[in-house]
Amino acid sequence: AQSVTQPDIHITVSEGASLELRCNYSYGATPYLFWYVQSPGQGLQLLLKYFSGDTLVQGIKGFEAEFKRSQSSFNLRKPSVHWSDAAEYFCAVVWVSGGGADGLTFGKGTHLIIQP
């Protein structure tokens, strides 16, 4: 079955430090890639997406992600984190084939903790 892996369940980063959250997906048809963020008790907010084109994509709140097809990865980065970035981050993939696309497949999430 196609899958999305976020290897880090928890990550702790000091405020002002850089951040990288990892995401790998199983090989399949053309992937559409997303990063979402979820604050406690809230729904999911889209940070950024990649469908095609430039493999480095910019999102909201200063986040960016790079698609590396050879590594089946779509890692999320931020050069300097703020305390308000503390949340749960989800990588999600839609695989597109000739028969259309299924729903989003999500990773298990990475819980980001910001140290003062």
Is 58 a binding residue for another protein by CB under 8 A? The answer is: no
Q: Which is nearer to another protein, 56 or 101 (CB)?
A: 101
Distance CA 23, CA 98 (A): 25
Pair of tokens at residue 57: 């994509």
Contact 55, 64 (CB under 8 A): no
Q: Which is nearer to another protein, 22 or 108 (CB)?
A: 108
Query: Which residues is 13 bridged to in the sheet?
Result: 114
Is 53 a binding residue for another protein by CB under 8 A? The answer is: no
Is 5 a binding residue for another protein by CB under 8 A? The answer is: no
H-type helices in 1-116, by residue range?
none
The residues, ordered by sequence, that sit 6+ positions from 99 with a Cβ below 8 Å of its Cβ are none
Binding mask 13-42 for another protein (x = CB under 8 A): -------------------x-x-x-----x
User: Which residues sit at the interface with another protein, rule CB under 8 A?
Assistant: 32, 34, 36, 42-46, 49, 51, 90, 92, 94, 96, 100-109
